[in-house]
Homo-oligomer: A and B are copies of this chain.
Amino acid sequence: MAKMKIAVLISGRGSNLQSLIDACADDGFPAEIAVVIANRPDAKGLQRADEAGIDAKIIDHTAFPTRETFEDMLHATLVTAKVQLVCLAGFMRLLNAGFVNRWRDRMINIHPSLLPAFRGLHTQERAIESGVRYTGCTIHFVRQEMDDGPIILQAVCPIRPDDTADELTARVLDLEHRIYPEAVRLIARGKVRVHGNRALIKDCEWQQNCLINPMIGG
């Protein structure tokens, strides 16, 4: 069976990109990375793509006169690479409605909190400051509102009393690296269906196991 072609969009070091590269290295994984795109020439994650022999492109948003022309170039690059699913992985540009709607239900994002809690930046500082005892991460389809859209997967970890933001970031990142490939796998296998504001997963057994056991991080 043909593998689903995905794009991974990054702005920084691309640690979630690495987890997807590693997952795709398995012959049985139902997706392959067709292209990696960075909006910053200095994105460290570009090196990970190079090392894995994956086509990597820089589309520097500062080189475009408007957000729309940047997004047109992004769109053309994705279409040219025959991309079927766009994976945002630390991609730090807000996307306009036009682009978001063109990739509706075909673009996913990861956010380091249990959405709808703690949208936006400085997530772990805010989680610690708020006094919540658990946090986690969320994979969701992208909608026009930032860090909003049907939730595909979440994973949970505790916040310890003496956690620093760096420690908590590392703990959540470990979960991110586990759920991003799982979300791609489910989508590539046709298990995910969007219904209203919810993403429903067909394979309930999988989800149940995932939710209760391996995805609760220490």
Give me the interface of A with B, judged by CB distance under 8 Å: 114-117, 129-134, 136, 150-151, 153-154, 156, 158-162, 197-201, 204, 207-208, 211-212, 216, 218
Whether A132 contacts B154 in the complex (CB less than 8 A), given A114-B114, A204-B161, comes out as yes
A130 touches B116 (CB 8 A): yes
Contact of A151 among B133, B153, B218 (CB under 8 A): B133
Q: How far is B218's CA from A130's CA once the two chains are assembled, in angstroms?
A: 26
**Cβ contacts under 8 Å, A197 to chain B:** 129-131
Q: Which residue of B lies closest to A135 (CB)?
A: B114
Consensus secondary structure, chain A interface: mixed
In the assembled complex, the CB of A128 is this many whole angstroms from the nearest CB of chain B, namely 9
23 A–B contacts from the bound complex (CB under 8 Å)? A114-B132, A116-B130, A117-B117, A130-B151, A131-B151, A131-B198, A132-B151, A133-B151, A134-B136, A134-B154, A134-B156, A156-B156, A156-B216, A158-B211, A160-B204, A160-B207, A160-B211, A161-B200, A161-B201, A161-B207, A161-B208, A162-B204, A212-B218
**Cβ contacts under 8 Å, A154 to chain B:** 132-134
In the assembled complex, the CB of A216 is this many whole angstroms from the nearest CB of chain B, namely 6
Q: How far is B132's CA from A150's CA once the two chains are assembled, in angstroms?
A: 9
Whether A133 contacts B218 in the complex (CB less than 8 A), given A114-B117, A117-B116, A201-B161, comes out as no
Q: How far is B119's CA from A116's CA once the two chains are assembled, in angstroms?
A: 12
In the assembled complex, the CB of A163 is this many whole angstroms from the nearest CB of chain B, namely 11
- Interface hub of A114, A116, A133, A159 (most chain B Cβ within 10 A): A133
**Cβ contacts under 8 Å, A201 to chain B:** 161
Whether A114 contacts B131 in the complex (CB less than 8 A), given A158-B211, A204-B162, comes out as no
Q: How far is B114's CA from A156's CA once the two chains are assembled, in angstroms?
A: 12
Q: How far is B132's CA from A151's CA once the two chains are assembled, in angstroms?
A: 6
Q: How far is B160's CA from A200's CA once the two chains are assembled, in angstroms?
A: 10
**Cβ contacts under 8 Å, A131 to chain B:** 150-151, 197-199
**Cβ contacts under 8 Å, A134 to chain B:** 114, 136, 154, 156, 211
